[in-house]
Structure 1
Amino acid sequence: MAAASGRANNFGSISSNLRQMLLLVLSIYASFSCCLGHGDTDAATAAAGRSGCIENERRALLAIKSDMYDPDNWFSSWTGHDCCKWRGVTCDNDQLHVVELDLHYPYTYDQDTETIGVSKVNPSMLDLKHLKYLDLSMNNFSGADVPKMITSLVRLEYLNLSNAMFSGAIPFELGNLSSLRYLDLEGSPSQLRADDLGWLSGLPSLIHLDLSFADLSQATNWLHQLNSIPTLQVLILGSANLPPLPSPLPHFNLTSISTLDLSYYRSFTSPMLTWLSNASSLHHLRLSGCSGLDVEPLQVAVGALSNLQEFDLSFNHIKGDIYGILKNVSRSVKYLDLSFNSLTGDIPPSFWSLPHLEYLSLDENDVTGHIPDLVENLTSLRHLSMDFTQISGEIPRTLGNLARLEFIDLHHSHIIGEIPPSMGNLTSLVYLDLSVNNISGWIPETFGDLFHLKGLHLSDNIIGGQLPKTIGNLHNLQELDLHNNSVAGHIPETVGRLHNLQVLILSNNKLTGTIPRSLGGLCNLKILDVSQNSIVGDQVTDVIHGLSNCTQGAQLSSLHVEGNNLSGMIPPSLGHMSQLQELYLSSNSLQGNITEAHFSNLTNLKFLNISHNSFNVILSNDWVPPFSAYWIVMSFCHLGVKFPAWIRTQTNLQRLYLARVGLSDNLPSWFSNFTSKVLLDDLDLSSNNLSGPLPTLRGLVDLSNNSFVGPIPLSSANGMDLRILILSNNHINGSIPSLFCNLTSLIVLDLSSNHLSGEIPDCNGGSFPASLQSLHLNNNNLVGRFPSFLQYCKELVALDLGENKLFGEIPVWVGRSLPSLKILRLSSNFIHGRVPVSIGSLTSLQVLDLSSNNLFGDIPSSFGNLKAMAAMQNEIRLLILDVPPYIRDCPYYTYCWSDNFYGDSITITAKGTTNQYSSTLSLVTSIDLSNNNLTGEIPKEITNLLGLHFLSLSNNYLTGRIPEMIGAMTQLESLDLSMNNLVGEIPSSLSELYFLSHLNLSYNNLSGKIPTDNQLSTFDDPSIYVGNKNLCGEPLPDQCPNATATHSGDEESGDELETILEITSTVVGFVVGFWLSMGIIIVKHSIRIALFRWMDKMCDWIYVKWAIKVAKLKSKWRTVPN
């Protein structure tokens, strides 16, 4: 409520002499009336000077006060006899009647009106018969009707009932207030309604009318009634649910209108813009949310409004070029909002010279171009917002010249380059958001001069450097968000000076050092996030202790320190943080006990993640937590052997992760019922020693690596919303339920390493899990043919059916219908037939294992088209990721999963051993066709697979030569061609495979000398060559025949001499070159630098040549007969 005493002069005043004369007359009249024993007591009282207002009006005011909500003692001045001095009350200077009453509730618009206590309009309001001004806005009248008694106050000129929680029909009797000049009935959507606006004809003097958010859908006469008010200047009908107009379009007289608001009039169309042709007085035009406008008529209409100061076209989805609108806009414009449209094109140069523009918003458009240096001409600009646009280029240095600028939002655009230091000149700046761009460089030191700054958002860029110490000068700063950048170095201690700071987000940078202890003194802090950095030390203990012991009480609601290398213990004082909702301590090196004291007052805790630490969680079995959490994640901590009974108190639980916490217990009987009641959506109890039957399955379930028994409990009553189901490495038996076909949301199914039997459901009924991306059924006793429904699973990434008893052929559609397949593993089954040529079409295939089956025929030459195996490692997109714990446990796991962050794990035989690959699976490319009946030659096209790491074709019937170009497969680490019928010499190009660490060519028909150059010289195990009777040379004991391997004594001596001379000449050449270079170095500096670079490379080359020559010489000497 604002005092209204200053408005008394608006209703007239009387000269002091005249007032004294009137008081004298009134005194005489009062005395005379008193003597006669009758008269107006109230008037006598006022006239006698004992009171500054009429007594019955004073009593009426007190009655009104008794029904008004007053939590802040707003009516404290309403004491004594002189009511004209009361706050919000104004009397006239003539008869001292109350003429103004301002009772609007003094709260900010971000407060919910419904949280305000209820008020009532007291009937005593009728006693204020001289009232000209009444303001009851912003109160809570709790849905009461607009009191009709107000319509009896016929002298009213100003009536404001806006946002006062009135409802029902707008009284028709308002038309009785013929003196009314200002009427504001703005409310919440559809609370007030008017089916007929005929009452407006009784308000001939009305200047200001606000019916926004009223329901006027039945008021078909609205335009006719508005045209009948000749004095109207301000018309606000935003979101008033106006009905459509008849055709032809009626005239709308806007000649006297200065403000027109038809926002969210859904029936507004481009032809209605013709109304604006006679709006010569229009200064403020608001047409946001109309959605029926075209860009060409708008350009014409805007050009006619030469006096326009405010123009709001936001939320219209207007398509077309923005150029014409901005080019035609009035040079008087101060406020321009074109946000949330589909405007395209560049901003015209002339626009950047509007001298009066204060507010500019182009958010959520496809506007292109860049912000030019001309922006400095917008000298009045206070608000600049262009987020979610196609604006590109660098931030101009001249932007720093706009001294009045208070708000800049350019986030999620295409800004590049560095932040100009000149932005430190924007000393009026309150808010700056440059997040989600491609900004590089570092944060300017000059930002320390932005003393009024409250919000600084630079996240999701490529900003490096260090956080400047001058950031500590920003004493008004409330929000600092730098997440997802490359900011390095320590967090400066000066951050601890920011005592108004409420949000500090520095996550996912390259920060090192320790957390400053001074952060523990930031008692207004609500969000602290330094996760995903390389921060060390145990200072987090002191920070938590400091924040939990603030004198005004801990304000912290979100604490994220996960993904660092923090050490130390968490103090029990953590339990004092009663506002804490999110606690993320995961993936650190924290240790110590976590007890009930740590949670003692955490009544608001919703998200708890302490996983991947060395915590010893000591919570009694009958403990009742003070919180009701949504997420509890304690994986890789130690909880003890008993399943925690306190979990059953968490009736709002959505996610429970207790993987590898040391549980060794039967799963309690109450747990399955519990998971159904609380709608537990994510459950991970993997890698414990839990036993008993499986619980209810829903959402995400990982129970792998336990001792669960029995069949899979899938029924139509539950589990139909399963997305991820991992039951591998248990003792589950029975068959896969046919209801599996109804799991239409299923993404991952892993039932590997159990005792399942029967056939894989073929889903012939038409329903199947089309969203399936990963299917692991390996190492069971499943029988039958390749499941045909898989051809409809277009998103399938990983398929592992190995170690079963499947039979039949691999269907041709595997290579045609599964475009996303990256893992195909069918090893150790009874599959027969040819390898489908279509497999070569799986361009994303990363791992192919068809080993230990009954396949026959040729290896398809189409294998050369497997692009994921052909790409070099630095070109391979990480196809399958083993998720870091902090991502798997992240607060937005559903989103993380949508980016394929699920960690597949498969068995691969390579390098002579069989291993499980998970964390490095993204780096693996492998082909294993071993132990089949394949024939024909190794296709030369296979050498196109330059990125292949493991290749095993052993134990087949392959013939022909090893491809000469096999040396091109430079990423090969393991090559097994053993137990075939290969012939010819070993290609010398094999020696170029520098990563090759496992080679097996045994039991073939290879011949000739074994190459011993380069990498092959490291293989000294003869078993890799045995079974090739025509092979000779090291490491085999059979030396090659003398005719090809030795020479006469003279020739040998000549060769030795030649070799020695060659070595000597190399050394001499090196020495001479060295000293020659040294001489030149002394003479000229530039040549010195160049030569040092050249010499560094030459030394490497000479060393390699020397090593090879010596190796050859030693080999030759060993072959000389004694």
Structure 2
Amino acid sequence: MSFGVISCCLGHGGGDHDGHLGAKGGSCIESERRALLDIRSDMYDSGERFSTWIGEDCCRWRGVACDNTTSHVIKLDLHYPYTRHSYTDYWDDDDDIYFMLKEMGASKVNPALRDLKHLKYLDLSMNNFFGSHIPHMIASLVHLEYLNLSNGMFDGLIPPQLGNLSNLHYLDLGGCGVNDLRADDLDWLSRIPSLKYVDMSSVNLSKATNWLHQVNSIPSLEVLRLSCWASLPYIPAPPPPFNLTSIVKLDLSGYSNLNTTILRWLSHASTLVYLDLSDCSGIDIESLQVTLGALSNLKELYLLDDRLEGEIFGMIMNVSSRLKHLDLSWNSLSGDIGQILRSLGSLEYLALDYNNFNGDIREMVKNAPSSLQYLSLRFNHITGEIPQNVKNLTNLEYLNLSYNNITGDILMAFSDLFKLKRLILQGNNISIQIPKIIGNLTNLEYLDLSYNNITGDILMAFSDLFKLKSLILQGNNISRQIPKIIGNLTNLEYLDLSYNNIIGAIPTTIVFGTLNKLCNLSFIDLSFNPIGGELTYLIDALPSCNQGASLWNLNLSSNNLNGPLPSAPYQMIDLSSNSFIGPIPLSFANASYLRILSLSHNNINGSFPSFFCNHSFLEVLDISNNNLSGKIPTCHKSFPVSLQSLHLNHNNLSGKFPSFLKHCEQLVTLDLGENNLYDEIPTWVGENLLSLRVLSLKSNLFYGTIPVHMANLTSLQVLDLSSNNLSGSIPSSLGNFSAMVEIQHDTTSLLDLFNGSGSYGESIVITAKGYDIQYTTILSLVTSIDLSNNNLSGEIPRELTKLHGLHFLNLSKNHLGGTIPGKIGFMEQLESLDLSMNNLTGEIPSSLSSLTFLSHLNLSHNNLSGRIPTAGGQMSTFLGDPSIYDGNEYLCGTPLPECPGDAAHQSPAHEHEQKNGDRLETVWEITSIVMGFVVGFWSFVGTMIMKQSIRMAFFRVFDKAYDWCYVHLAVGCARLKSKQQSVT
């Protein structure tokens, strides 16, 4: 058995998995053939999975093997084939598998399995047995040597009867984030003495307090995986004497109770070749160094995300000289990268991402071992230009230097790395034109140069990279047209040229050419460029691909594209913010797997097409800001039940509230604002759409009352019913919006679709602080209620003050009466409050002064009275703006006129302050006169000294001027003296 890197979520550690299994007898036993057919009847079939299960000889069926002598079925491999996309560098296996299984049809383990009594090998992994328990009958298959139930979405207690499988060598029950299994005790595991491989990743072992002693009693174990947050309990000192004398591979990643006791125990594992302690808290770096120094055979070491801090050099000096594979990513380690590499002479794989390493890349390259095949240093502090001697790293296949401070003409240096398959230099300071010599990298499959300052006719340089599958140049300054020669890249699957200055039209060779076709393209993102022209020819060419088009994600948003909309054979389409015209094509009805469609901000007209009712996979539909008209169709037999986001706002749609939404129970965002919909708000909105987080019906013709059941929408964060004809009172139950009671801290997008393989940027416009604000990135943090410009009456419900996490509240332009709730100051997150143009009476509550985040307030045009509270808080910031209190005749106090009696009841301190002010005014007047006299005097004197004629003229008028000045100066002094006497 090989003990290399075995993915914790793929779980296939041995045996044939391609269906061409070893020994086959001449024929199969009829009873076992019937049992196999029964088993097949309960398994999900994608159409080809059981295509060979025909004929009488079941030993020749794919996934089945029989004993050559007895013809009994001894091997059954029903694992579901799983393939990963190759173009995504940051792919998450766990999430990918989970969503794949969720979309797969359900399977069951048929009881006929017990009839295959001679089975030695059973693999049911990667199937969707969602919610099923592991059947006890498996324990009756006593000849089993290999059992793989990984990633089967099983849950519940692992049957202890599995301890009866005394011949078992291989047991895989793992499933990171997929299975939901638990084991309260591992005593049954210790009763299987022949075990060599055990994977219980993600199994909840929180109650198995004696797990270490029980695992330690199986000296035959070679591989043990208890990773993926298996919730292993704390092991107190002293640990049991080390007994795993055959252990080669150990994975305890995610063990939050790892301590010095375990590290000391591990130091006896001299046979250990592979050790994974990633995501373990509480690691003592000094104890870790001692343990590593004792593991003389260690070749692979994983210490990701262990919150390790400080210099790395001491730990590096203690690792085995045989070390081939080292991953210390996601820590806070530091040190000079050149010195580190000098100490790791035979390393093949090194990942130090997300740390604080520094140094010049020239020293790093000089000291890097030529054996390196994988080097990843993203998000560090490495500087300088990559030197030409990087070509000495002749075995390098993967290089990631993203988000450092790398500069210069680096690609010239890489041109001799003929084995290089992945090159990722995202987010550096590369400012060059790509040379043609980059075409020497003939094995390059993945290239990411995004977010640099690359210019020039870049795509011409890549035309010889025939093996290239992913090309990512997002966020540069590429300003040329896409050349036709791009059609040479026939293996290209992923193309991202977004956020550049690419001009011209999209060439037809992006889909077809004279000799070559880009029929493997599955992801195209050309968004945020000034690309022009029409698109219909591009899409119409797709059928020319012999194997059918692979394209599932097309993003051409924010360009200058025009003409009619193309057809839509994809899963994800974003053509928003262009100038497309005409109706939505009927061909969209054929896009049966359509998941995301965004056509917003175009000039699309016509009616809302009814065929969207049939799109059961549709998750996002955004046709906002267009010219659609007519009624929204009523769905009858089929509904878009997967819909999570619907934006139809800012069109000319009419009619009633769309009734098909009653069946869209996964809906998170619903925006029907700025149309001509005329209806009451249905009560079922608050009964069926319980996942809603955003509901906007603003600027329509809705009438009637606000349904009381709206309060059932406990996840609601944004409610906008403004500018309608709603009447009646505000339901007090709106104070039960749980998501507005709590302060929001989760920055996760409202819609986290496709898990990295593609996503939709959810956004919505909210009127707050007196103007419209579009929220996208932080939308998940926003909470808002806008009921303004309706005919609502009654009092403001006191229950609304329980919404302590509410940011924006607008109840203006209604007929609300009564007083402002006294506890309104308890809404501590409030940033904007508008209660203007109502009939509110009474005083402004003093609690408003405690709102520390309030930046917009409007209480104008009510019947409020009394003194405006100014004591502290944000109210003091509104002292200079009387307009927020306009139209309240009986309000007084700063910034409005003083309240009656204020002058008669001034305090001694206030009087003293006023006297000081008068004295200051007197001093200022005297100073002004004296300064004027001095300046004027010396102006005259200076002039007379310089010029005789002026001096003579001056003395002729001096006598008259003297008399005039004397009189006026005497009068001025008398006034000043009189005023000073009155002040004192």
Structure with the bigger RCO (C-alpha within 8 Å, sep 6+) is 2
Matches within 5 A, 1:498-537: 498-521=489-512, 522-536=518-532
* Aligned-partner residue type, residue 506 of structure 1: L
* Aligned-partner residue type, residue 461 of structure 2: T
Structure 1 residue aligned with 2:171: 184
Structure 2 residue aligned with 1:774: 832
Match of 1:568 among 563, 569, 576: 563
Give me the whole-angstrom Cα distance separating, in 2, the residues matched to 1:234 and 1:691.
65
**CA drift at 1:63:** 6.7
- The answer to whether the 8 A contact 1:799-1:824 is kept is no
Give me the whole-angstrom Cα distance separating, in 1, the residues matched to 2:325 and 2:879.
54
Match of 2:614 among 617, 620, 626: 626
Structure 2 residue aligned with 1:250: 240
Summarize the Cα distance change of 1:742–1:530 in structure 2 as closer, same or farther, 3 Å threshold.
farther
* Aligned-partner residue type, residue 678 of structure 2: P
Matches within 5 A, 1:241-320: 242-253=232-243, 256-320=246-310
**CA drift at 1:504:** 3.2
Kindly indicate whether residue 375 of structure 2 is the aligned counterpart of residue 379 of structure 1. Answer: no
Structure 2 residue aligned with 1:724: 784
Kindly indicate whether residue 349 of structure 2 is the aligned counterpart of residue 359 of structure 1. Answer: yes
- The answer to whether the 8 A contact 1:762-1:788 is kept is no
* Aligned-partner residue type, residue 339 of structure 1: S
* Aligned-partner residue type, residue 511 of structure 1: I
DSSP 3-state at the match of 1:794: coil
Summarize the Cα distance change of 1:611–1:684 in structure 2 as closer, same or farther, 3 Å threshold.
farther
* Aligned-partner residue type, residue 615 of structure 2: F
- The answer to whether the 8 A contact 2:39-2:109 is kept is yes
Structure 1 residue aligned with 2:627: 638
- The answer to whether the 8 A contact 1:657-1:684 is kept is no
Give me the whole-angstrom Cα distance separating, in 2, the residues matched to 1:681 and 1:559.
27
Summarize the Cα distance change of 1:98–1:604 in structure 2 as closer, same or farther, 3 Å threshold.
closer
Give me the whole-angstrom Cα distance separating, in 1, the residues matched to 2:802 and 2:490.
56
- The answer to whether the 8 A contact 2:580-2:604 is kept is yes
**CA drift at 1:379:** 2.3
DSSP 3-state at the match of 2:604: strand
Give me the whole-angstrom Cα distance separating, in 2, the residues matched to 1:301 and 1:699.
51
DSSP 3-state at the match of 1:510: coil
Structure 2 residue aligned with 1:613: 602
* Aligned-partner residue type, residue 507 of structure 1: S
Summarize the Cα distance change of 1:444–1:682 in structure 2 as closer, same or farther, 3 Å threshold.
farther
Summarize the Cα distance change of 1:811–1:79 in structure 2 as closer, same or farther, 3 Å threshold.
closer
Structure 2 residue aligned with 1:456: 447
- The answer to whether the 8 A contact 2:411-2:434 is kept is no
Summarize the Cα distance change of 1:724–1:525 in structure 2 as closer, same or farther, 3 Å threshold.
farther
Matches within 5 A, 1:370-519: 371-375=361-365, 377-389=368-380, 398-399=389-390, 401-411=392-402, 419-436=410-427, 439-441=430-432, 445-465=436-456, 467-519=458-510
- The answer to whether the 8 A contact 1:683-1:700 is kept is yes
Give me the whole-angstrom Cα distance separating, in 1, the residues matched to 2:329 and 2:878.
39
DSSP 3-state at the match of 1:274: helix
Summarize the Cα distance change of 1:830–1:85 in structure 2 as closer, same or farther, 3 Å threshold.
closer
Give me the whole-angstrom Cα distance separating, in 2, the residues matched to 1:826 and 1:61.
85
- The answer to whether the 8 A contact 2:349-2:372 is kept is yes
Give the % identical residues: 32
**CA drift at 1:647:** 9.2
DSSP 3-state at the match of 1:600: helix
**CA drift at 1:274:** 2.2
**Cα deviation 1:854-875 (Å, max 9, x = unaligned):** 589xxxxxxxxxxxxxxxxxxx
**CA drift at 1:498:** 3.9
Give me the whole-angstrom Cα distance separating, in 1, the residues matched to 2:397 and 2:291.
31
- The answer to whether the 8 A contact 2:161-2:188 is kept is no
Summarize the Cα distance change of 1:821–1:315 in structure 2 as closer, same or farther, 3 Å threshold.
farther
Report which of the two structures shows the higher radius of gyration computed on alpha carbons: 1
Structure 2 residue aligned with 1:678: 689
- Give 5+ residue unaligned stretches, structure 2: 1-15, 85-96, 513-517, 655-673, 711-715, 741-782, 900-916, 933-949, 951-984
* Aligned-partner residue type, residue 823 of structure 2: G
Give me the whole-angstrom Cα distance separating, in 2, the residues matched to 1:549 and 1:670.
50
**CA drift at 1:298:** 0.8
Give me the whole-angstrom Cα distance separating, in 1, the residues matched to 2:524 and 2:694.
26
- The answer to whether the 8 A contact 1:795-1:818 is kept is no
* Aligned-partner residue type, residue 856 of structure 2: A
Give me the whole-angstrom Cα distance separating, in 2, the residues matched to 1:413 and 1:822.
48
**CA drift at 1:716:** 1.4
Give me the whole-angstrom Cα distance separating, in 1, the residues matched to 2:695 and 2:182.
49
**CA drift at 1:758:** 4.8
Give me the whole-angstrom Cα distance separating, in 1, the residues matched to 2:401 and 2:54.
50
**Cα deviation 1:935-970 (Å, max 9, x = unaligned):** x99x99xxxxxxxxxxxxxxxxxx99xx9xxxxxxx
Give me the whole-angstrom Cα distance separating, in 1, the residues matched to 2:605 and 2:459.
39
Kindly indicate whether residue 816 of structure 2 is the aligned counterpart of residue 796 of structure 1. Answer: no
Give me the whole-angstrom Cα distance separating, in 1, the residues matched to 2:452 and 2:652.
38
Summarize the Cα distance change of 1:611–1:298 in structure 2 as closer, same or farther, 3 Å threshold.
same
* RMSD between superposed Cα atoms in Å: 5.2
DSSP 3-state at the match of 2:857: strand
Matches within 5 A, 1:1023-1038: none
**Cα deviation 1:733-768 (Å, max 9, x = unaligned):** 77655555344443334556x365657x54323664
Structure 2 residue aligned with 1:741: 801
**CA drift at 1:370:** 5.6
Mean Cα displacement is larger for which, 256-265 or 220-229?
220-229
- Give 5+ residue unaligned stretches, structure 1: 9-51, 837-849, 857-935, 941-958, 964-983, 985-1047, 1049-1122
**CA drift at 1:346:** 4.4
* Aligned-partner residue type, residue 328 of structure 1: N
Match of 1:589 among 579, 586, 589: 579
Summarize the Cα distance change of 1:63–1:655 in structure 2 as closer, same or farther, 3 Å threshold.
closer
Give me the whole-angstrom Cα distance separating, in 2, the residues matched to 1:589 and 1:246.
68
**CA drift at 1:469:** 1.9
- The answer to whether the 8 A contact 1:323-1:348 is kept is no
Q: TM-score, normalised by structure 1?
A: 0.58
Summarize the Cα distance change of 1:470–1:245 in structure 2 as closer, same or farther, 3 Å threshold.
same
* Aligned-partner residue type, residue 534 of structure 1: P
- The answer to whether the 8 A contact 2:250-2:276 is kept is yes
**Cα deviation 1:459-506 (Å, max 9, x = unaligned):** 444545454323344444444444344433323333444444444333
Give me the whole-angstrom Cα distance separating, in 2, the residues matched to 1:262 and 1:653.
38
Give me the whole-angstrom Cα distance separating, in 2, the residues matched to 1:819 and 1:297.
57
**Cα deviation 1:4-62 (Å, max 9, x = unaligned):** 99999xxxxxxxxxxxxxxxxxxxxxxxxxxxxxxxxxxxxxxxxxxx9698x877875
Give me the whole-angstrom Cα distance separating, in 2, the residues matched to 1:233 and 1:542.
59
Structure 1 residue aligned with 2:571: 580
Structure 2 residue aligned with 1:904: none
Give me the whole-angstrom Cα distance separating, in 1, the residues matched to 2:337 and 2:322.
18
**CA drift at 1:420:** 3.7
Give me the whole-angstrom Cα distance separating, in 2, the residues matched to 1:823 and 1:402.
69
- The answer to whether the 8 A contact 2:114-2:141 is kept is no
Kindly indicate whether residue 818 of structure 2 is the aligned counterpart of residue 763 of structure 1. Answer: no
DSSP 3-state at the match of 2:614: coil
**CA drift at 1:796:** 2.9
DSSP 3-state at the match of 2:806: coil
- The answer to whether the 8 A contact 1:90-1:100 is kept is yes
DSSP 3-state at the match of 2:280: coil
**Cα deviation 1:297-351 (Å, max 9, x = unaligned):** 1112212323210112234333443332223222211121223444444446143
**CA drift at 1:65:** 5.4
Give me the whole-angstrom Cα distance separating, in 1, the residues matched to 2:58 and 2:721.
78
Give me the whole-angstrom Cα distance separating, in 1, the residues matched to 2:644 and 2:205.
45
Q: TM-score, normalised by structure 2?
A: 0.66
- The answer to whether the 8 A contact 2:21-2:63 is kept is no
Summarize the Cα distance change of 1:144–1:430 in structure 2 as closer, same or farther, 3 Å threshold.
farther
